[in-house]
Amino acid sequence: MTTATLERIPAAAEPTEGPALRSISLEFSSASEVHVGLEEAVAELIEVAAKDAECGILVTRLHPGRYRVALDASVPFGETYESVAA
């Protein structure tokens, strides 16, 4: 089972000039779900990053099965970096 928490207001209630999606928290219960789940999260944030062209995407492994995919100003636009939280 995959659990994804999106940090944004649902589309029906989203204000016209509201804040854009900046990060996605993901938790996976099996290794087979990780690849597809991370690809989908990165693809969603690529769309957001392309609008501003100011930052790239950082995928952080927080602990086994738990990840955060976020726009990050330290990552150059057009690139995706991976990190492991200490």
Q: What pLDDT does 8 receive?
A: 39
Instruction: List the domain range (segments joined by +) for residue 27.
Output: 22-84
- Does residue 12 fall inside a structural domain? no
Mean of pLDDT over the chain: 82
Overall domain count for the chain: 1
Query: Could you give the percent of the chain with pLDDT greater than 70?
Result: 76
The model's pTM is: 0.75
- Does residue 4 fall inside a structural domain? no
Q: What pLDDT does 52 receive?
A: 84
- Does residue 14 fall inside a structural domain? no
Least confident of 8-12, 23-27, 73-77: 8-12
- Does residue 8 fall inside a structural domain? no
Helices and strands: H and E segment counts in the chain? 1, 5
What is the radius of gyration, based on Cα positions, of the chain?
A: 13
pLDDT at 85 over 70: yes
